[in-house]
């Protein structure tokens, strides 16, 4: 065997000053081709462009060739030669372990990219899978039409190999085809074949989908999580697993680069591709891979660039050494700031990175986010003493703290060695308190600092107000240059946040006179707090709550099926909040518990509840400042909360903070319907389940945008906008704020169109549906079926928007039964096309995209079916039973989740005879059928019976079938893992499919275990 050669490193080309994201992309002028372009031609052009960019084309299509190339590439990267025995050991343990899945392989690339090779002579050698320090040492190759033999023979479009490992997969569709079908195709690959053979394609970190005209990218988490959702188990934090979470690539000016040619020249530039893989992915503690968006990468690099240039120019300790990032609320500010902090921590000249938040309520959220990205990175501190210990600890490189604690530390330590350290200070939100005396004191004592601020709503001269130090009124005065901008208009154009829909509700005639400036302020307040007006508003909220929050819609989150969304109610004062809470209690007092809205209340002392400059008042986190009456009322409201959730909070300091945390968590998990606030939760609080803000409060400028933005986080295709229901005339304030923080055209982008425009489009689509596809006429031919699918999908999307408009009720055009029948037809075609694509080697439904998530929102549950069964039994023999039986069949056919249980339901209806206790009889029936079907699978697949039952019990307990790890291996009969025909892999996948189908059929029908 040859001796190991000394590791060799190719010097990178302009690595330090080469931006990952191109500053400005100008497409090359070219004559647009008029000829039809096939998918094959698109693929050829794409590969040719990659070759021009120094990607080596590799004409391989089999796993044997792929593994041989991997061996050669790793040998070249590490300057070693593997013996056959060494390679077999290394490959089977460090690359393709039998029980490794996507998560384990992603962890290997992101966290453990240096593996240990045990050599034949007993020594141990470090082997790099990817070189993260000198990225241009990595070798990039491109392959296409790779053949995999999984559930069926599959050919992948184009794959980028990094040092021989598949790390980026590109799925292409011909021009004119919806790129969502490319997304769906990748899902099918994961199900059918990415796991096949040695599972090397589970190393893919990023996916790119394109139809030539439109191109997007996303991480393997989105794909893996999407499939987990389809199996019935969602992500722990949010359902970021649908096509809505795919990402547009752009230049530094936020102009999307959508054409495949331009995308290839920029995104697939070698330094860009390798930087994204090695620097701009975050593998969080929930084992989800997050890939950064272009504007996030630009911001992080601008901060690093400013650190470097200001250090070189000896500008430390001045505004010239820092700057601010204007990224709109909801655009992923915490991830950007975390990555900037993480990269700054790695600079040899930096001693500390301080991440400073302004208030404790933000501290809780930011702490959780930081801990999510890197366990232990955000060393939280509960006291100034702990902060001091961390500042003195050289190993505490990133410290998260509040500006109040940092200010107390400065006040108590006039001299300290840390003041001479080279520090980066990042402010989570640049709002007013950081422009005050605390800001001045901190910047006075630290000598060698870089100060950076993140904000979604900067303070400009136009909205700066008149208070405080005139030299620190604007964000630029306090923090320095604006380093990057990503406005609310950019975010909505990119679909990174949702637009808003605003209702202005005039509650009583008195409100018209409030605009008159002759009315004294005290009379205005008295009119706004009149009991009649309070009562009207509460009645309006109760009557419209289900409609605005889509209570009839359902979706899965945290393994629970949730009904609709929830809301905040922003009030102008503590007095107003108390009155509204009392009115909700009074109006709901006689209702059964199940019909009452779950209403929470929270407030604390605030010096200025309504701020004249538009900033939301700075609420303290303590209740000591409250007058006795306000505190007693809050205490009583917390006792109501305790009774509802079996908790034990009160207004004492520690317990009130825990009440805040518990309340915020229940908001996020949709356990509360509505929370009444004054200023709390209106800034810095993110809950994807929130879709409505009820407003009885004067808002403007940054306060208005911050409050509105609580509602517009993306969750799923059911949530298409954030609802604002304003009981005050905020129209001009809204337009002014959008112009200030967006642009003059922002209103047309940020706000939904009027009802009439959506309804006119809906009328036209329904008329077309009824004319072309009457329910009593079958749809003949593939072209007609595809046309129907596209048309009904458009109707589903429009109806989803229209249901939140008050005017839509009673104007649906299609009767409930006709809509149900069309939906059944739609689901039949979904099953037909899906089955056809599984039979064919290549998908035949390239241009078919189904809106299944929108259908699931009106899901019919088993309880409804059992109610119909009860009616059927009571009417049996009267003649009306046939109609009820038809209703049962129609309801099951229209339900995505009940269709695979249709035979069970029909058998039950045929066999049940007792009109009483239908629920109990159903439970007994399902338990028996469930046990019978599992025994059949055990026998047919020769499984270990005890292990199989335990495996299924755990799956029903956890809400999903585990596809990785050793548990499934215990269930299988003995098969060699190393057989040439991959018998183990095939058997494992076949059993997982059968058990997965069994799980989907019975999950949620009864109990948690198999008897």
How would DSSP label each residue in 850-866?
--HHHHHTTPPPHHHHH
Same domain, 329 and 399: yes
Examine residue 1 and state whether it is found in any structural domain, yes or no: no
pLDDT, tens digit, for every residue of 143-175? 999 887 766 677 889 999 999 999 999 999 988
* Secondary structure (3-state) at 486: strand
Say what the pLDDT of residue 224 is.
52
Say what the pLDDT of residue 557 is.
64
Examine residue 839 and state whether it is found in any structural domain, yes or no: yes
Q: Which token pair is 45?
A: 């052009």
Say what the pLDDT of residue 214 is.
93
Residue 11 has pLDDT above 50, yes or no: no
Confidence of residue 584 (pLDDT cuts 50, 70, 90): very high
Say what the pLDDT of residue 519 is.
41
Confidence of residue 364 (pLDDT cuts 50, 70, 90): low
Confidence of residue 49 (pLDDT cuts 50, 70, 90): very high
Q: What is the CATH number of the domain that holds 514?
A: 3.40.50.300
Q: Length of the chain, please?
A: 1011
* Secondary structure (3-state) at 823: helix
Q: Which residue has the higher pLDDT, 328 or 964?
A: 328
| Three-class SS of 290-317 | EECCHHHHHHHHHHHHHHHHHHHCCCCC
Residue 241 has pLDDT above 50, yes or no: no
Same domain, 476 and 514: no
Same domain, 502 and 478: no
pLDDT, tens digit, for every residue of 875-884? 776 777 777 7
Residue 499 has pLDDT above 60, yes or no: yes
Same domain, 667 and 598: yes
Examine residue 13 and state whether it is found in any structural domain, yes or no: no
Residue 416 has pLDDT above 80, yes or no: yes
111 C-beta neighbours (distance < 10 Å), count: 8
Distance, first Cα to last Cα, the chain: 59
Q: Provide the percentage of residues in the chain whose pLDDT is more than 70.
A: 80
With contact defined as beta carbons under 8 Å apart, do 478 and 439 qualify?
yes
CA 132, 136, 137, 141 torsion: positive or negative? positive
Q: Give the span between the Cα atoms of 534 and 743, in whole angstroms.
A: 36
Say what the pLDDT of residue 630 is.
93
Examine residue 898 and state whether it is found in any structural domain, yes or no: no
From 814, 836, 856, give the residue that closes a domain.
856
Indicate the average pLDDT of the chain.
82
Say what the pLDDT of residue 88 is.
93
- Averaged pLDDT, 936-950: 88
Q: Provide the percentage of residues in the chain whose pLDDT is more than 90.
A: 36
Confidence of residue 395 (pLDDT cuts 50, 70, 90): confident
Q: What is the CATH number of the domain that holds 247?
A: 3.90.1570.50
Q: Which token pair is 78?
A: 């590490």
Examine residue 992 and state whether it is found in any structural domain, yes or no: yes
Examine residue 730 and state whether it is found in any structural domain, yes or no: yes
Say what the pLDDT of residue 617 is.
61
- Averaged pLDDT, 506-514: 50
Residue 705 has pLDDT above 80, yes or no: yes
Residue 408 has pLDDT above 90, yes or no: no
Residue 1011 has pLDDT above 60, yes or no: no
Same domain, 659 and 766: no
- Averaged pLDDT, 210-219: 93
511 C-beta neighbours (distance < 10 Å), count: 18
Examine residue 2 and state whether it is found in any structural domain, yes or no: no
Choose from 62-76, 517-531, 560-574 the range with maximum mean pLDDT: 62-76
From 268, 291, 314, give the residue that closes a domain.
291
Contacts of 368 (CB under 8 A, 6+ apart): none
Same domain, 799 and 679: no
Same domain, 377 and 459: yes
Specify the range with the lowest mean pLDDT, choosing from 105-109, 158-162, 455-459, 558-562.
558-562
From 806, 832, 856, give the residue that closes a domain.
856
- Averaged pLDDT, 232-257: 69
Residue 916 has pLDDT above 90, yes or no: no
Examine residue 66 and state whether it is found in any structural domain, yes or no: yes
Same domain, 786 and 837: yes
Specify the range with the lowest mean pLDDT, choosing from 125-129, 202-206, 516-520.
516-520
Confidence of residue 235 (pLDDT cuts 50, 70, 90): very low
Q: Which residue has the higher pLDDT, 541 or 619?
A: 541
- Averaged pLDDT, 928-942: 89
- Averaged pLDDT, 512-524: 46
pLDDT, tens digit, for every residue of 959-1005? 667 766 667 888 888 765 555 555 667 788 788 888 888 887 887 66
Domain count, the chain: 5
Residue 413 has pLDDT above 60, yes or no: yes
Say what the pLDDT of residue 941 is.
87
Residue 296 has pLDDT above 60, yes or no: yes
With contact defined as beta carbons under 8 Å apart, do 702 and 741 qualify?
yes
Same domain, 766 and 673: no
Range 489-503 burial, b when 16+ CB lie within 10 A, else e: bbbbbbebbbbbbbb
270 C-beta neighbours (distance < 10 Å), count: 17
Q: Which of 389, 316, 390 is nearest to 355 (CA)?
A: 390
Range 892-914 burial, b when 16+ CB lie within 10 A, else e: bbbbbbbeebeebbeebbeebee
Q: Which of 477, 440, 436, 483 is nearest to 460 (CA)?
A: 477
Q: Which residues pair with 165 in a beta bridge?
A: 162
Same domain, 480 and 511: no
Same domain, 726 and 603: yes
Say what the pLDDT of residue 358 is.
64
Which domain, by its residues, includes 475?
294-486
Q: Which residue has the higher pLDDT, 571 or 874?
A: 571
Same domain, 728 and 850: no
Residue 140 has pLDDT above 70, yes or no: yes
Confidence of residue 515 (pLDDT cuts 50, 70, 90): very low
| Three-class SS of 339-373 | HHHHHHHCCCCCCEEEEEECCHHHHHHHHHHHHHH
């Amino acid at each position: 065997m040859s001796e190991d050669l000394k590791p060799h490193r190719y010097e990178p080309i302009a690595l330090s000053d080469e931006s990952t994201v191109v500053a400005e992309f100008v497409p090359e002028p070219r004559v647009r081709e008029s000829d039809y372009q096939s998918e094959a031609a698109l693929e050829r052009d794409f590969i040719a462009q990659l070759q021009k960019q120094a990607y080596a084309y590799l004409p391989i299509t089999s796993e044997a060739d792929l593994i041989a190339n991997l061996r050669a590439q790793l040998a070249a990267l590490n300057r070693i030669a593997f013996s056959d025995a060494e390679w077999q050991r290394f490959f089977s343990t460090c690359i393709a372990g039998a029980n490794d899945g996507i998560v384990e392989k992603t962890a290997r690339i992101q966290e453990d990219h240096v593996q240990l090779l045990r050599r034949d002579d007993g020594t141990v050698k470090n082997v790099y899978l990817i070189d993260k320090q000198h990225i241009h040492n990595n070798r990039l190759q491109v392959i296409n039409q790779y053949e995999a033999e999984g559930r069926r023979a599959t050919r992948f479009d184009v794959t980028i190999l990094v040092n021989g490992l598949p790390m980026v997969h590109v799925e292409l569709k011909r021009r004119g085809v919806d790129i969502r079908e490319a997304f769906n195709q990748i899902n099918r690959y994961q199900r059918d074949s990415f796991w096949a053979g040695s599972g090397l394609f589970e190393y893919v970190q990023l996916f790119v989908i394109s139809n030539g005209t439109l191109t997007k990218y996303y991480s393997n988490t989105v794909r893996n999580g999407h499939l987990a959702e389809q199996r019935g188990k969602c992500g722990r934090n949010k359902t970021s697993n649908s096509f809505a979470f795919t990402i547009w690539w752009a230049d530094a000016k936020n102009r999307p680069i959508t054409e495949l040619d331009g995308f290839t020249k920029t995104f697939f530039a070698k330094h860009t591709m390798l930087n994204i893989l090695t620097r701009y992915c975050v593998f969080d503690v929930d084992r989800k891979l997050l890939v950064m968006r272009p504007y996030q990468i630009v911001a992080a690099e601008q901060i690093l660039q400013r650190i470097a240039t200001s250090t070189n120019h000896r500008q430390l300790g001045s505004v010239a050494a820092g700057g601010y990032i204007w990224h709109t609320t909801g655009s992923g500010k915490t991830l950007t700031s975390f990555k900037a902090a993480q990269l700054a921590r790695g600079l040899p000249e930096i001693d500390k990175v301080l991440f400073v938040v302004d208030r404790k309520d933000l501290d809780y959220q930011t702490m959780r986010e930081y801990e999510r990205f890197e366990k232990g990175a955000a060393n939280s501190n509960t006291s100034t003493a702990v902060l001091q210990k961390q500042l003195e600890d050289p190993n505490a490189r990133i410290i998260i703290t509040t500006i109040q604690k940092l200010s107390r530390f400065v006040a108590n330590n006039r001299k300290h060695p840390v003041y001479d350290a080279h520090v980066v200070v990042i402010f989570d939100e640049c709002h007013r308190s950081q422009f005050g005396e605390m800001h001045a004191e901190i910047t006075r004592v630290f000598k060698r600092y870089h100060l950076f601020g993140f904000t979604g709503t900067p303070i400009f001269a136009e909205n700066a107000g008149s208070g405080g130090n005139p030299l620190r009124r604007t964000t630029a005065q306090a923090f320095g240059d604006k380093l990057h901008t990503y406005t609310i208009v950019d975010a909505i154009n990119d679909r990174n946040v949702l637009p808003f829909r605003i209702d202005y509700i005039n509650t009583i005639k008195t409100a018209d006179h409030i605009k008159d400036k002759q009315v004294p302020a005290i009379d205005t307040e008295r009119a706004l707090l009149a009991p009649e007006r309070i009562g009207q508003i509460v009645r309006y909220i109760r009557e419209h709550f289900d409609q605005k929050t889509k209570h009839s819609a359902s979706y899965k989150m945290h393994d629970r099926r949730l009904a609709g969304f929830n809301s905040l109610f922003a009030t102008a004062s503590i007095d107003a909040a108390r009155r509204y809470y009392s009115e909700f209690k009074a109006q709901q007092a006689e209702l059964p518990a199940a019909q009452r809205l779950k209403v929470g209340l929270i407030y604390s002392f605030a010096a200025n509840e309504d701020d004249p400059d538009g900033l939301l008042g700075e609420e303290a986190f303590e209740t000591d400042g409250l007058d006795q009456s306000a505190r007693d009322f809050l205490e009583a409201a917390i006792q109501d909360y305790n009774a509802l959730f079996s908790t034990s909070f009160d207004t004492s300091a520690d317990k009130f903070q825990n009440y805040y945390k518990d309340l915020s968590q229940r908001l996020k998990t949709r356990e509360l319907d509505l929370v009444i606030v004054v200023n709390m939760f209106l800034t810095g609080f993110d809950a994807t389940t929130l879709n409505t803000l009820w407003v009885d409060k004067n808002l403007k400028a940054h306060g208005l945008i911050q409050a509105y933005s609580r509602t517009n986080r993306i969750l799923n295709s059911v949530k298409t906008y954030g609802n604002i229901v304003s009981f005050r005339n905020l129209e001009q304030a809204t337009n002014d704020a959008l112009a200030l923080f967006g642009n003059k055209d922002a209103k047309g982008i940020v706000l939904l169109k009027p009802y009439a425009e959506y309804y006119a489009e809906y009328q036209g689509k329904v008329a077309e549906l009824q004319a072309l596809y009457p329910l009593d006429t079958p749809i003949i031919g593939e072209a007609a079926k595809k046309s129907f699918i596209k048309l009904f999908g458009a109707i589903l999307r429009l109806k989803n928007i229209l249901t939140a408009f008050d005017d839509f009720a009673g104007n649906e055009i299609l009767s409930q039964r006709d809509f149900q029948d069309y939906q059944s037809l739609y689901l039949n075609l979904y099953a037909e096309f899906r089955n056809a694509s599984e039979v064919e080697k290549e998908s035949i439904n390239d241009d078919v995209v189904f809106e299944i998530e929108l259908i699931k929102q009106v899901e019919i549950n088993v309880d409804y079916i059992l109610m119909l069964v009860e009616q059927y039994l009571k009417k049996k023999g009267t003649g009306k039973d046939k109609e009820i039986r038809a209703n049962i069949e129609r309801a099951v056919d229209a339900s995505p989740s009940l269709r695979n249980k249709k035979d069970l339901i029909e058998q039950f209806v045929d066999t049940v005879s007792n009109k009483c206790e239908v629920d109990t009889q159903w439970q007994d029936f399902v338990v028996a059928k469930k046990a019978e079907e599992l025994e059949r699978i055990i026998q047919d697949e020769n499984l270990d019976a005890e292990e199989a039952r335990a495996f299924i019990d755990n799956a029903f307990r956890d809400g999903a079938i585990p596809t990785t790890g050793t548990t499934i291996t215990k269930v299988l009969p003995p098969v060699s893992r190393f057989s040439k025909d991959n018998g183990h892999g095939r058997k494992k996948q076949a059993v997982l499919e059968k058990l997965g189908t069994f799980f989907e059929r019975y999950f949620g029908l009864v109990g948690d275990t198999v008897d």
